[in-house]
Amino acid sequence: MRTKIINYAVAFLVLLVLNFILPRLMPGDPLSAIYGEEVLVQMSPELKANLIGRFALDKPLWEQFTSYISSLAKGDLGYSYYQNAAVSEIILAHLPWTLLLMGLAIIFSSVVGIIMGIESGWKRGKLMDKTCLTGMMTLSGFPSFFLGMMLLLFFAVTLRFLPLQGARTAYGNLTGGWIVLDVLKHLILPLTSLTLAEIPANYLLTRNTMIINAREPFILTAKAKGLPDSKVRYRHAGRNSLLPVVTRIGIKLGIIVTGALFVEIIFSYPGVGNLIYTSLLMRDYPVLQGSLIMVTAFVLLVNLGVDLIYKKLDPRT
Amino acid sequence: MHIRYWEKLEKDPFGKTGLILVIFFAMLAAVVPLVTQNPTTQTSFIFKPPSITHPLGTNDVGQDIWSRLVWGARTSFLVGLGVGVLSTLLATLLGASAALIGGWYEGVVMRTVDVLLVIPTVILVILIAAFITPSIWLLIVVISLFRWQGAARIIRAQTLSLRKSMHISAAKSFGASTSYILFKHIIPDLGPILVVSFIYSCRMAIFLEASLAFIGIGDPSVISWGKMMRHALNFYYLDVWKWWLLPTGVALSAFILSFTLLSYCLEKAMDPRLDESNV
């Protein structure tokens, strides 16, 4: 158990060290590599002295690193000279949209994937199973951003049925329930793309586990007791197929996060993914690094949590 | 475990489709770029719909989209193969050597594996690539460096159990040389794992390269499907997406799909419980 926690801590430390060392390895002025070119426009002697002091850039590398870590520990992720705001504030403003999109996508994709997987695995080799399997295989080839583009072009551009981009109508002056409706309308396409991209993995894993579980003696016992088929399928075989899927969702959170990143970019959805993209384009390094650190910390924490819970669910490990 | 790859792939509809698709894309990437127009030549014929001279029309600066598509296949193939080979090689070397040498060396390798397993790879690659703007070769190396850990762990476990297994001791007692045991037993026994890990790495690398190119990370002089799709999306209000974005996206998806199909087929071969023909 302790080694698990240490692994996560070391992984986070590796990311911090990379975050620290990469801008300093860049040729040229480290200030512009750390803050982006924009800082040079606003540069005055006082600001320069202030920035150098802040990152201890005139001190040896080790002292620079300790001052970097200690400011991070205080929750100070730096300052963006493009947006003239603290990085932590910028990220916090974008975070709710990503959590909304990702949370709903995880729920929908696991429910659909697990139910289809249970049904398909139970009826293995039948027409329904073969159709589902082929369909899911094909779907799994599509990258989330291509799915997003297709939905965008079909529903928003060709049919003009749903909004093209953003999370809310700008200057809409909406009130009450209309705000919720507006948010939902903007959410449909990004959510559908991300959910569709996530279903196949959950489906395939559930189906495989179902097939293996269906041969276990306890299924035979349940059938012999005369339980109805649906009960054996869900209460016995299905329930025992849940564990690997739930673990997968936790462990593969990093993949879902990156999927959300690309979907947000397609629909200009104002979440962290879009923030990472715009900061990449603008070379706004403080925001880019801050967002990547936050996302990694989030993913690592959830993974650690899943690891800890898994110990409780499955005492064999 | 010894697998008759050909037989498995030929019998399984998924495996067969995957194999045909991979061969198709290999031909596309290897041969077709030799006979197409120069994909970088800019002309004044912009946004032209498909015609005989331009099978997929032209883009906003008058470049022939079909020739860009087949050159893009080259990029995808190169990255896929490169990462597949390099990461599988790293995994085999580190995993097998950890099992054979043991001691503190094994401890260091396995600790590195544990740490790499929990790091979100894509995020790390975005971070690195944002700063160093890698060439295609450097990208292959960077992806591979973060992509060997899973296979290495399995290979180490397999090598450990193989070392002590009966058929190896039997071969030794008949006086087989080390190289004979290595090539006749250990490598064929590790074979399926190596092949599946190779296919997984290919798939992941093709996907990652396209995604990174899509968000603007990558060598600007290289033609990449991800970059083409990003570029085409800027003109969503015109009809050009039908012969610019759509074929590119379908090509990328079909290419990724072919590797999924192959790996699914081989996984089934490795876990007979999943094989339909054994019901």
Tell me the angle at which helices B103-118 and B65-101 cross, rounded to the nearest 10 degrees.
140
Q: Which whole number is the average pLDDT over A146-165?
A: 79
| B237 contact residues in A (CB cutoff 8 A) | 157
Decide: B79 and B142 in contact? Cβ < 8 Å: no
**Nearest CB to A254 within list B120, B127, B260:** B120
Query: In the prediction, which pLDDT does B244 show?
Result: 82
CA distance A23 to A34: 6
Q: CB-based contacts of B143: which residues, under 8 Å, 6+ apart?
A: B79, B83, B87, B121, B125, B204, B205, B208, B209
Residue from A139, A200, A274 nearest B256 by CA? A139
Whether residue A125 lies within 8 A of chain B, CB to CB, comes out as yes
Q: Which residues contact A273 (CB under 8 A, 6 or more apart)?
A: A98, A260, A261, A262, A263, A264, A265
What per-residue confidence (pLDDT) applies to B279?
Answer: 42
User: Are B121 and A254 a contacting pair at CB < 8 A?
Assistant: yes
pLDDT of A283-313, one tens digit each? 788 888 888 888 888 888 888 888 787 777 6
A300–B contact, CB cutoff 8 A:
yes
What pLDDT score was predicted for residue A172?
Answer: 64
Chain A residue with the nearest C-alpha to that of B237: A157
Q: Is the distance from CB of A182 to CB of A89 less than 8 angstroms?
A: no
Cα dist. B206→A155, A176, B22, B215, B258 in Å? Answer: 28, 46, 13, 15, 12
Question: Are A280 and B214 an interchain contact pair (Cβ–Cβ within 8 Å)?
Answer: no
Decide if A257 touches B, using CB distance below 8 A: yes
Q: What is the overall mean pLDDT for chain A?
A: 82
Mutate to test the interface with B, among A126, A149, A150 (most CBs of B within 10 A): A149
Interval A248-261 mean pLDDT? 81
Q: Please answer whether residues A257 and A210 qualify as being in contact, where contact means their C-beta atoms are separated by less than 8 angstroms.
A: no
Is the backbone of residue A125 left (phi > 0), alpha (psi -120 to 50) or beta?
left
Return the residue of B nearest to A126 by Cα. Answer: B276
* Partner-chain contact A149 B128, CB within 8 Å: no
Kindly identify which residue of chain A lies nearest to residue B210, measuring between CA atoms: A143
Q: Cβ contact (<8 Å) for A258 and B132?
A: no
Query: Do B206 and B256 contact (CB within 8 A), yes or no?
Result: yes
- Among the partner-chain residues A149, A212, A300, the one whose CB lies closest to the CB of B233 is A149
Q: State the DSSP H helix or E strand holding residue A280, giving kind and residue range, or none if neither.
A: helix A272-282
Amino acid identity, position B194:
L
What is residue A56's predicted lDDT score, i.e. its pLDDT?
66
Chain A window 50-109: which residues touch B at a Cβ cutoff of 8 Å? none
Cα gap B254→A305, rounded to integer Å: 36
A297 CA: distance to closest CA in chain B (Å): 10
CB B236 within 8 A of CB A153: yes
Judged by CB atoms closer than 8 Å, whether chains meet at B118 and A137 is answered as no
Paired tokens of A74: 């205080």
Enumerate residue ranges in chain B where pLDDT < 50.
Answer: 278-279
Q: What is the model's pLDDT at position B253?
A: 92
A-B interface: how many C-beta pairs under 8 angstroms? Answer: 123
Q: Where are the alpha helices (DSSP H) in B133-224?
A: 136-145, 149-163, 166-173, 178-181, 187-214
Beta strands in chain A (DSSP E): 79-80, 85-86
Instruction: Report chain A residues whose CB lies below 8 A from the CB of B227.
Output: none
- CA dist., res. A185 & res. A130, Å (int): 34
| Other C-beta atoms lying within 10 Å of the C-beta of residue B171 | 15
Distance (Å, rounded) from C-alpha A293 to C-alpha A75? 12
